[in-house]
Amino acid sequence: MDALIVSLQSVWNDSGFEGLTSGHVIMLLVGLVLLYLAIGKGFEPLLLSNIAFGCLLGNIPKTGFVEEPGVMQVILYGINNEVFPPLIFMGVGAMTDFGPLIANPKTLLLGAAAQGGVFVCLIGAMLLGFDLREAAAIGIIGGADGPTAIYLTVKMAPHLLGAIAVAAYSYMSLVPLIQPPIMTLCTSVEDRKIKMDQLRTVTKFERIIFPIFSTIFISLLLPPVCALIGMLMLGNLYKEAGCLDRLSDTAQNALMNIVTIFLSVGTGLTMEAGKFLKYDTILIICLGLVAFAAGTALGCIFGQLMKIASGGKVNPLIGSAGVSAVPMAARVSQIVGQKANPSNFLLMHAMGPNVAGVIGTAVAAGTMLAMIGPAGK
């Protein structure tokens, strides 16, 4: 009997139940709620479902994921050493059409203007007591670009990764709810009715030279962001070259899906109770909303300036697409524009600032890395 009791005691001591705390229980519930939002409500299901399941795994005590070699340690290595975000960008590039931006380069300014939300949030975070690197990582949520947010956070404030990733991907999924009221506030009915001229045809040579030139110029300007921009443009080159269809298909399908699983599960693994259950998490989620709203508003305001400069030929609604939630933000511009004028077709015009926002968010991240430097330096 004594031997049985000792054996049962040993089993209990080695089980996760023995090390389970109230914090772990709360985070397990958070993971279940995120799973419901992803699967039941369709909020970024491809990403949020994996983040949620990673959250469940990361809050099971005594798994040894961090200490013992194995697949989870490999995934965490990919997160902590910026392996996955550039690979995600390769897939994004293979799926992105930069034609609208090439056809109307002025929309690059709208993508840049929308990044103002990043710096508004940075200032707000510092006023609330976050240090400069933490504030920079929080601010990048305003770019509505999950991989870039993860990339910068790992370099600047890795202890905030879970909260920032959840905020970034949550607000990306809520674009159709968050943006329209802000767009309506920043424009008049007459503004929203403006019809824009059809874009010119972009040549194949322009489509091929764009990713090559962009990589060289932006990487020379901001070397810290070379990995992100380089992989984004390499994926786009696969798409546009015409002789690299197999690589393009792999980048935007098989590779993209595999890396998405690793990136999102690894992000969930970082959502440990000890790191996530803090007052700072609530502040980060609120600041992320401020950043996203400010980016949308600044894009629309700059769109108003372009409308005036063009003599009324630019619909300021397309400025809201400067946040890099591709193509959702462009679709929202189209929907809001069509409500004011059913014959209005803004989608392709909005895609210009939308894809410019992808570049702009990466440039904003590179600028902060160059000016502030990563953690530990």
- For 103-123, how does the pLDDT look when each residue is reduced to its tens digit (9 = 90+)? 999 999 999 999 999 999 999
Amino acid sitting at position 334: Q
Question: Crossing angle of helices 255-269/161-173, nearest 10°?
Answer: 130
- Burial (Cβ within 10 Å: 0-12, 13-18, ≥19) of residue 284: buried
1: confidence class by pLDDT, cuts 50, 70, 90: low
Write down the mean pLDDT value for the chain.
90
Q: Tell me the residue type at 77.
A: Y
Cβ(61)–Cβ(16) below 8 Å: yes
91 contacts 258 by C-beta, under 8 angstroms: no
pLDDT digits over 240-290, tens only? 999 999 999 999 999 999 999 999 999 899 888 888 888 899 899 999 898
Beta carbons of 56 and 31 less than 8 angstroms apart: yes
Contact 304, 191 (CB under 8 A): yes
The CA distance from 376 to 353, in Å, is: 35
Predicted confidence at residue 375, as pLDDT, reads 74
| 333 to 113, 182, 306: CA distances (angstroms) | 16, 11, 16
Task: Please give the distance of CA 263 from its chain centroid, rounded to a whole number.
Answer: 12
Percent of the chain clearing pLDDT 90 (strictly above) = 68
Instruction: State residue 106 phi and psi, 5-degree precision.
Output: -60, -25
pLDDT above 60 for 339: yes
Cα four-point dihedral sign 22, 24, 29, 30? positive
Query: By the 8 A CB rule, do 147 and 263 touch?
Result: yes
Measured distance CA(367)–CA(324) in Å, rounded: 17
Taking the model in full, what pTM does it have?
Answer: 0.88
Least confident stretch, 89-93, 111-115, 174-178: 174-178
Q: pLDDT class for 81, splitting at 50, 70, 90?
A: confident
6-19 per-position pLDDT tens digit: 777 777 677 778 88
Intra-chain end-to-end CA distance of the chain, in Å: 59
Residue 233, pLDDT above cutoff 70: yes
